[in-house]
């Protein structure tokens, strides 16, 4: 089962975060998880999606994982309300939600009308879940290039016109983009430069 879903857990994500109580600090450690991989795995194995998700939540919880970078592929999928969110509550996990269904990509199909439509979809979804204590923030793009920053910022502003204010999550893999990041600024700002990259690009220095 884990072999089939190995793509869900390729990258280890470690984030230091402060809990709601200012007196308590907790290290957040988690993994990338994509709901569409689980949906595909459950179908291939002939098992219920809920049982497959719980199997993995239980195992992650046993190994100290308390944070997910969760890719959501369908904004109107009942599975988020009926499976993913209840599992987060049950196993005391929080999540950054990557809105895969509204992911920012400057391609030929990314016209102004398409962007407006995507922003509305994303905004409605965010407005529904932004006050859930299990949800720390929302992302619509990782590893954006510096030349795409202004377009991404425009997209975020359009989303906020539908959702109101919400915490943005941004991960960069190059310093030029990180230094030039325009408003709206993210609440969670980090990198997904993996350890083996740092060793090469930092002259052997490992943080």
- Contact residues for 48 (Cβ-Cβ < 8 A; gap 6+): 42
pLDDT values of the chain reduced to their tens digit, one per residue, 207 residues: 544 444 443 333 433 343 344 455 678 888 899 999 999 999 999 999 999 999 999 999 999 999 999 999 999 989 999 999 999 999 999 999 999 999 999 999 999 999 999 999 999 999 999 999 999 999 999 889 999 999 999 999 999 999 999 999 998 888 888 889 899 999 988 876 555 444 444 444 444
In order of 19, 25, 77, 122, 123, the CA distances from 101 in angstroms are: 29, 33, 11, 8, 12
Query: How far apart are alpha carbons 71 and 109 in whole angstroms?
Result: 22
Tell me phi and psi for residue 169, to 5 degrees. Answer: -115, 125
Residue 24 has a pLDDT of 59
């Amino acid at each position: 089962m884990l072999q089939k879903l190995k793509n869900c857990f390729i990258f280890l994500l470690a984030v230091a975060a402060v809990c709601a109580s200012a007196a308590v600090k907790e290290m957040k450690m988690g993994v990338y998880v994509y709901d569409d991989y689980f949906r595909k795995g459950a179908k291939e194995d002939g098992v219920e999606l809920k049982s497959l998700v719980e199997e993995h939540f239980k195992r992650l919880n046993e190994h100290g994982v308390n944070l997910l970078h969760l890719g959501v592929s369908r904004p109107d999928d009942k599975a988020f309300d009926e499976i993913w969110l209840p599992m987060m509550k049950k196993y005391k996990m929080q999540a950054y939600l990557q809105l895969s269904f509204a992911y920012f990509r400057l391609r030929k199909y990314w016209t102004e009308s398409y962007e407006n439509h995507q922003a509305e979809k994303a905004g409605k979804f965010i407005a529904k879940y932004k006050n859930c204590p299990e949800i720390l923030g929302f992302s619509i793009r990782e590893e954006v290039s510096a030349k795409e920053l202004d377009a991404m910022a425009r997209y975020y502003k359009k989303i906020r016109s539908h959702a109101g204010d919400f915490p943005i999550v941004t991960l960069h893999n190059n310093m030029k983009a990180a230094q030039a990041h325009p408003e709206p600024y993210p609440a969670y700002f980090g990198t997904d430069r993996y350890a083996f990259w740092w060793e090469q690009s930092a002259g052997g220095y490992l943080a």
